[in-house]
Amino acid sequence: MNEQEAIKAYMRRRGITRIRPTAALIDMDGTLYDSMGNHADAWYRLISGIGIECTRDEFFLYEGRTGASTINLLFNRAYGHDAAPEEAKELYHKKTLYFSDMPPVSPMPGAKEMVNTFLSNNITTVLVTGSGQNTLLNRLDTDYPGAFPTERRITSHDVKRGKPDPEPFIKAMTIVNASPEECIAVDNAPLGVKSGAASGAFTIGVTTGPIPREELSKAGADIVYSSMTELAQRLPILISIILQTGK
Ligand code: CA
């Protein structure tokens, strides 16, 4: 589906004839940072280390969930119950330490251009992540100056129900006082795309890991790009088509 068709389909579904975006709600891991491999390694080290059988690749499927939610999913599979809240907290802390020990990750190629395109079109950028990983959160101001000040961040600390629930994206809309139709969500994972689509935002899916693009379409993405570089190239066109709506 091209941009024009994607926008038309979105407007039809929302029952609107015009879109004027004011905010872009942007995921962090696998979208702003090439960090998913390290996360999968850290999770695998943690979970296999406590004797729960798992594979490294399965952690790509849990991308977007909060740490506690991933831990409980694995506990339920192995033992049939959640982890005690204190234990979950401790385990997640351990996972963040393992992640910090790994080689530093780079910003995703194309992500800076994407952010700059939004900002130069007066579209405010907001971070929407299920992560509470300070290793990356603390780098945002350096890697994306001015784009994600602390008051424009939704992290695992701000939500009760993480992705795939729409709560994180809805909360992000509240902090910038935008309606769903004024927002563009960007996420690379099926659960994140599901959350963005359920929030009512125009949702861009970007495949940056081993998940095939059909999975993002199935999760409800309005349009899917095959890399952040492709999204960066196409975004000015997408925005100009959006700004033509209702004219
Ligand atoms: Ca992600």
**160-198 pLDDT, tens digit each:** 999 999 999 999 999 999 999 999 999 999 999 999 999
Residues 6+ apart with CB under 8 A from 164: 64, 190, 191, 192, 194, 195, 198, 219
Q: 91 with 84: CB under 8 angstroms?
A: no
SS3 57: coil
Average confidence (pLDDT) over 48-54: 97
pLDDT exceeds cutoff 90 at 135:
no
Ligand 1 centroid – CA 223 distance (Å): 16
Percentage with pLDDT > 70 across the chain: 100
pLDDT of residue 33: 97
pLDDT of residue 133: 85
- What is the residue-averaged pLDDT of the chain? 96
Residue appearing with tokens 């952010």: 115
Q: How far apart are CA 196 and CA 175, in angstroms?
A: 16
Q: 163-172 burial, b for 16+ CB within 10 Å, e for fewer?
A: bbbbbbbbbb
Of the pLDDT bands very low, low, confident and very high (cuts 50, 70, 90), residue 113 is very high
Ligand 1 centroid – CA 32 distance (Å): 8
The alpha-helical segments, DSSP class H, found in the chain are 3-14, 36-49, 58-61, 67-79, 85-101, 111-120, 134-137, 140-143, 167-175, 190-199, 213-218, 228-244
Ligand 1 centroid – CA 26 distance (Å): 9
pLDDT exceeds cutoff 90 at 129:
yes
Of the pLDDT bands very low, low, confident and very high (cuts 50, 70, 90), residue 64 is confident
pLDDT exceeds cutoff 80 at 3:
yes
Average confidence (pLDDT) over 28-55: 96
Of the pLDDT bands very low, low, confident and very high (cuts 50, 70, 90), residue 232 is very high
Ligand 1 centroid – CA 17 distance (Å): 30
